Amino acid sequence: MEEHDDPDRKIESDGLILACSVYGKETAPVVIFAHGGGQTRYAWKGAAKTLGEDGYRSVALDLRGHGDSEWSKNRDYSLEAFGRDLIAVAAEFELEDRAPHIVGASLGGLGAIVAAGILKPGIFASVTLVDITPNMEASGVAKIVGFMGEHSKDGFSSLDEAADVISLYLPNRPRPKDLEGLRKNLRQGQDGRWRWHWDPAFIQSVMRRSANERVSDLEQAVRDIKVPIHLVRGRMSELVSNASVEAFKALAPGAHFTDVADAQHMVAGDKNDLFTAAVSDFLRQQSEGVNA
């Protein structure tokens, strides 16, 4: 069967319409990509498409309240809500008895932990967590949430202003010369100002929650995940420290671990080639293990 790329696929979950881009053959093993909070499905910078070309069917999802997915009418942006959405997407793309794999960055990873460890164990064939663990560094969480909340209401007067703000927040990355990519992460309102492409109620919900209020049940959820787990960390991450990694390894002693050099929290954005290679290698090991 020829490759089937559908950049405008829609899926219903919990009364919401979720948007995703799909790459690869319809009969290939499925890999679902769930981005971090405040991002969109375009954050994967080609990783999903590359895997789609390498023998997988990649599903890059816009989480509820983000990108082209609908905003929650009752402002439910709990981890359980995100977990239910991931389960709905997995059910949509499951092939007979072959469960899909999940790759979740930050918020998407937390949703995957809740889905795989609490709501529906066995829903995924494997779980890859990108720079997220139950034991996060509070200072790193505060920095990320603060950045997201700072301009969520008033937005930016131009794409140039947005690029300047992002460059200050991510000094390790060169400021992009072509700002067209920002259009996928920002939306222009009737007042002419540019705002992040997500529901402001999402960050308000996050800011009301304590970063550490769910550590114990997330830890237990990781323990209860019985499928292969892969933790990918950005070595310069302010969110997942060495101590966080060791605590995670204690929860999941058999987990694979990849430490991506010169990458911060948004690993795929910082070092996309290394990230994609790490995910591909892990998935290939799972395939070889199944077929052995």
- pLDDT tens across 35-51, in order? 999 999 999 978 999 99
Dihedral class, residue 192 (left if φ above 0, else alpha if ψ from -120 to 50, else beta): left
pTM of the model: 0.92
Q: Which residues pair with 16 in a beta bridge?
A: 13
Regarding beta strands 101-105 and 30-34, do their DSSP bridges make them parallel or antiparallel, or are they unpaired?
parallel
- Residue 77 burial (CB < 10 Å; 0-12/13-18/19+)? buried
What confidence category does residue 12 fall into, taking pLDDT thresholds of 50, 70 and 90? very high
Reply yes or no on whether the pLDDT at 291 is more than 70: no
Report how far Cα 214 is from the mean position of its chain's Cα atoms.
Answer: 19
pLDDT of residue 127: 98
How many angstroms separate the Cα of 62 from the Cα of each of 2, 8, 117, 121, 243?
Answer: 25, 11, 22, 23, 31
- As a whole number, mean pLDDT of residues 29-33 equals 97
Query: Tens digits of per-residue pLDDT, 186-226?
Result: 999 999 999 999 999 998 887 666 555 689 999 999 999 99
Reply yes or no on whether the pLDDT at 5 is more than 70: no
Query: Tens digits of per-residue pLDDT, 244-258?
Result: 999 999 999 999 999
Give the lowest-confidence range in 74-78, 129-133, 176-180, 227-231.
176-180
Contact 36, 196 (CB under 8 A): no
Considering only residues 76 and 290, tell me which one the structure prediction assigns the higher pLDDT. 76
Query: Tens digits of per-residue pLDDT, 63-95?
Result: 999 999 999 999 999 999 999 999 999 999 988
pLDDT of residue 287: 80
Query: How far is residue 258's CA from residue 80's CA, in Å, rounded to a whole number?
Result: 27
